[in-house]
Amino acid sequence: MNISAVAESPVTEFEVHWARGRFNALFFGLIGPYLNWNLRRHKRRVFDQLPNRVVEIGSGVGANLRFLPADATLVAVEPNPHMHRRLRAAARRKGVRLELHDQVGERIDLPDHSVDAVISSLVLCTVTDPAHVLAEIRRILRPGGRFSFVEHVAAPARTPTRGLQRMLRRPWAWTFEGCSCERDLETTIRAAGFTAVAIEPYRLHTPFIPFNTHIAGTAHA
Applying CB under 6 A, the residues found at the interface with ligand SAM are 14, 28, 32, 57-60, 63, 77-80, 83, 104-106, 121-123, 126-128
- Tell me whether residue 151 or residue 155 sits nearer to ligand SAM (CB atom): 151
Q: How far is CA 193 from CA 113, 121, 133, 145, 207, in A?
A: 15, 20, 12, 13, 35
Determine the Cα–Cα distance for residues 197 and 80; give it in Å rounded to an integer: 29
> Closest approach of Cβ 167 to ligand SAM, in Å?
20
- Tell me whether residue 58 or residue 144 sits nearer to ligand SAM (CB atom): 58
- Tell me whether residue 127 or residue 154 sits nearer to ligand SAM (CB atom): 127
Among 135, 145, 136, smallest CA distance to 50 is for 145
> Closest approach of Cβ 4 to ligand SAM, in Å?
20
Residue 33 class from Cβ within 10 Å (0-12 exposed, 13-18 middle, 19+ buried)? Answer: exposed
Give the sheet arrangement for strand 115-121, strand by strand: 97-101, 73-77, 53-57, 115-121, 141-152, 213-220, 196-203
- Tell me whether residue 59 or residue 180 sits nearer to ligand SAM (CB atom): 59
* Beta bridge partner(s), residue 121: 150
DSSP state of 104: -
- Tell me whether residue 87 or residue 221 sits nearer to ligand SAM (CB atom): 87
> Closest approach of Cβ 123 to ligand SAM, in Å?
4
CA 80 to chain centre: 13
